Structure 1
């Protein structure tokens, strides 16, 4: 295919699905390339197709399938696991990159979390840089605990003491994220950062705030369990 596309990651997650259907409904001429994991080509295609079939049928489904292509990819591998020709072709057609693939599991070992959340983001920045296109990043802001009522993000500024064994890991992850932001600025990608809010706890309501170029987007109700966006 040679048509221009917006490249989307994380399309099989609960927020990614919303994004795909929103783009299809509000931008009728836009074509999408969904980067989807899979043990083989058939599984990746099936996972991507299910995103469309989850809500569409008949002619609406057929029309969406004509506008959406599924690309088997792995954000943990160089060039997203694509062969050089496919990668170059994708970069040559991309008019924008929306990166939402991530693991939001709290139980992953640090290196596994970094592999997708930090290194994967760096590889998507590589693609946007090669395409010389816009880059939109979907991050996450959590409010968790056993309290009730309104929980403000600003309260996190008065954070409790962090156990010593976690401080080094937090520092490394924070520096990795800062490096990614500096690199985006250096490459003049002018990234947009969109944060989804997940609230956990009894009757907890998350109150959003925005900083810098980030934009908060509600994507889950209070108490909804977190899951991988990939």
Structure 2
């Protein structure tokens, strides 16, 4: 009976690392397949995926009312056909300026602007602006093309989108809601937060524990030598 018990115990101990290894492998695999894009807003519509959408960190640490904010994001086209970002809408902004890869900044007109009357001109299709209401939707005529199977980074180099005349101040962690319209994929809305600073904030000088421990040891040794010296002088007397 003792031999059988010992054999069973050895078998359990032998199998335990195998079981633990299998569990660990499953956790690693699950972690590896999780979404890596943890910063900025993310949304998907059709073959278009928008990642890392955020407002550039303001120089002073916060946006004030009336400031402009640059929108940064990554647009991925996973389809077989090219698509185009044709419109950017949002609440709490006065306008949008879009500069595509080929340049040519276009200021976006606000939806509540009063058009100049033109004799004999046909009325523009669209809803009439509400009297006294602040504009909540802005568009721009400049477009950004996203080729098939390609990724376009909107960060001020290849393309730039600037939200102008913010209605309210914004700081890190706060967000505004934007709606992006693509020619083929359609509309998608997502929250866009104010980004954290790119560079880490300066911190105080690190505390050197090893140096402090060494100083304490030296102080202890000095005190011991003083006690020995005092004992020798006392014994001589």
Using structure 1 for the length normalisation, give the TM-score.
0.22
Answer 1 or 2: higher relative contact order, Cα 8 Å, separation at least 6: 2
Structure holding more helix per residue: 1
* Bigger-Rg structure (1/2): 2
